[in-house]
Amino acid sequence: MRTILCRIFQFFMKLGYYLIPVRTPETITGEGCVLRLAQPLCDRGVTHPLVVTDGGLAKLGLPDGLVESLRVAGLSVTVYDGVQPNPTDADVEEGVRLYREAGCDGMIAFGGGSPMDCAKAIGARIVRPRKPIARLQGLFGVLHRLPPFFAVPTTAGTGSETTLAAVITDSATHHKASINDPSLIPHVAVLDPALTMGLPPSITAATGMDALCHAVEAYTNHTYCTRLENRMAKEAVRLIHQYLLRAYENGSDKEARQQMQRAAFCAGRAFTRGCVGNVHAAGHTLSALYGVAHGQAMATLLPVVLRMYGSKVQRRLAELAQECGFTGTDAEKAEAFICWIEEMNARMQLPSGFAMIKDEDIPQMCRWAQAEANPIYPVPVVWGEKQFRNLFETARKNG
């Protein structure tokens, strides 16, 4: 019955998608392009942007060149560097306060998914001042144009620079949930590979596997995908297969960094319409309760979930495998693809499981995961409590 209701919802959602504009942001690309944002900001009427970043990046001095270039060009700049990994509603409110106090008129999100999501949520609260984060979460809670919004990713993973999602954790309950709204798609994505050159290998690995997860979940969901999303997902998988290990093994491999940035963007664009699936729904609970890095949760759960889906995803996985050059029957290609994901996890020292999962937390985790996935995500197999419990128990056993 659950499956039937979800599929009916998804049928209408698919029809609705023909009416919802899914923009692709304008992109500015190339090494050093982050230092040339003053003019594009002025063109959009921005005189005083809020730069949203995190403390780690501020300490590294990574945003300094950008801030300096804007000041030299005569813009006022306010920097908010208090975003935590897995940002909370409290982080968002602090950013809103700074934006208002300084009289900002635009935003630059600078960092990984955490600063980018936090900036999106700040923008949402600016245009929807009476709605707290909890009421913005879910589908279409914003539906107002954000102030001019530039996204500058410094990791190659979340694709938040092109997606309609902002994932925010409730600081009181630890519940992590998405605001999903087309107004959150940034106006401009700035892809400067120089910014990812200093990413430590462990973050390169986790964020790269997050991008893979976006592409694989969007492609195996397929219901909402148009030809564009299918093409984007395939391109992302092909690039990750070719370049992620290279970027991991040699961080200063410029070509690999650039191609991984492209892969993350394509994967983000693919799931903005195609949606993520049960891996994300389950993985968000691990980040919320135990602080597991998002990409680590995705990397570890992805092959387990794909094996649990079995024959339901065989053909679509075989198509992705083919992009990577695997050959054989559909069953052989799908199996080789899952084995490749497992090998990547092992070679990049990503966790094999999560021993910290507590028995008493599992019922809550199952509820959160179901609430996230059903009925919106058009997953290959609709899961209830039993399957999510099975996944969490397997992940704990493998840890």
Ligand X SMILES: NC(=O)c1ccc[n+]([C@@H]2O[C@H](COP(=O)([O-])OP(=O)(O)OC[C@H]3O[C@@H](n4cnc5c(N)ncnc54)[C@H](O)[C@@H]3O)[C@@H](O)[C@H]2O)c1
Which residues share a beta bridge with 166?
179
Least spacing, CB of residue 184 vs ligand X, in Å: 8
217 binding Fe ion? (CB under 5 A): no
Which residues share a beta bridge with 165?
180
Kindly tell me which residue out of 207, 259, 278, 300 binds ligand X, with binding defined by CB under 6 A. 207
Least spacing, CB of residue 278 vs ligand X, in Å: 15
Q: Is 181 exposed, middle or buried (0-12, 13-18, 19+ CB in 10 A)?
A: buried
Least spacing, CB of residue 179 vs ligand X, in Å: 9
Binding residues for ligand X restricted to 103-142, rule: CB under 6 A: 111-114, 117
Stretch that binds Fe ion, among 21-29, 121-129, 204-212, 300-308 (CB under 5 A): 204-212
Question: What is the number of other CB atoms lying within 10 angstroms of the CB of residue 236?
Answer: 31
- Cα distance between residue 226 and residue 228, in whole Å: 5
* The pair of three-digit structure tokens given for residue 351, joined into one six-digit string: 């966790």
Least spacing, CB of residue 330 vs ligand X, in Å: 29
* CB-nearer residue toward ligand X: 163 or 221: 163
Kindly tell me which residue out of 91, 117, 181, 210 binds Fe ion, with binding defined by CB under 5 A. 210
Binding residues for ligand X restricted to 38-77, rule: CB under 6 A: 54, 56-57, 60
Query: Do you find a cis peptide bond into 351, omega within 30 degrees of 0?
Result: no
204 binding ligand X? (CB under 6 A): no
Least spacing, CB of residue 360 vs Fe ion, in Å: 27
Amino acid at residue number 20:
I
Closest of 72, 74, 21, 82 to residue 47, by C-alpha: 74
Kindly tell me which residue out of 32, 103, 132, 198 binds ligand X, with binding defined by CB under 6 A. 198
| Interhelix angle 362-373/385-397, nearest 10 degrees | 120
Stretch that binds Fe ion, among 20-28, 65-73, 139-147, 203-211 (CB under 5 A): 203-211
152 binding ligand X? (CB under 6 A): no
Residues sharing a CB contact under 8 Å with residue 256, sequence separation 6 or more, in sequence order? 243, 244, 246, 247, 250
Least spacing, CB of residue 120 vs Fe ion, in Å: 14
163 binds, among ligand X, Fe ion, none (CB under 5 to 8 A by kind): ligand X
Phi, psi of 160 (to 5 degrees): -55, -20
- Cα distance between residue 276 and residue 290, in whole Å: 21
Least spacing, CB of residue 90 vs ligand X, in Å: 14
85 binding ligand X? (CB under 6 A): yes
Question: What DSSP assignment string belongs to 42-79?
Answer: HHTT-SSEEEEEEHHHHHHTTTHHHHHHHHHTT---EE
157 binding ligand X? (CB under 6 A): yes
Binding residues for ligand X restricted to 160-189, rule: CB under 6 A: 160, 163, 165-167
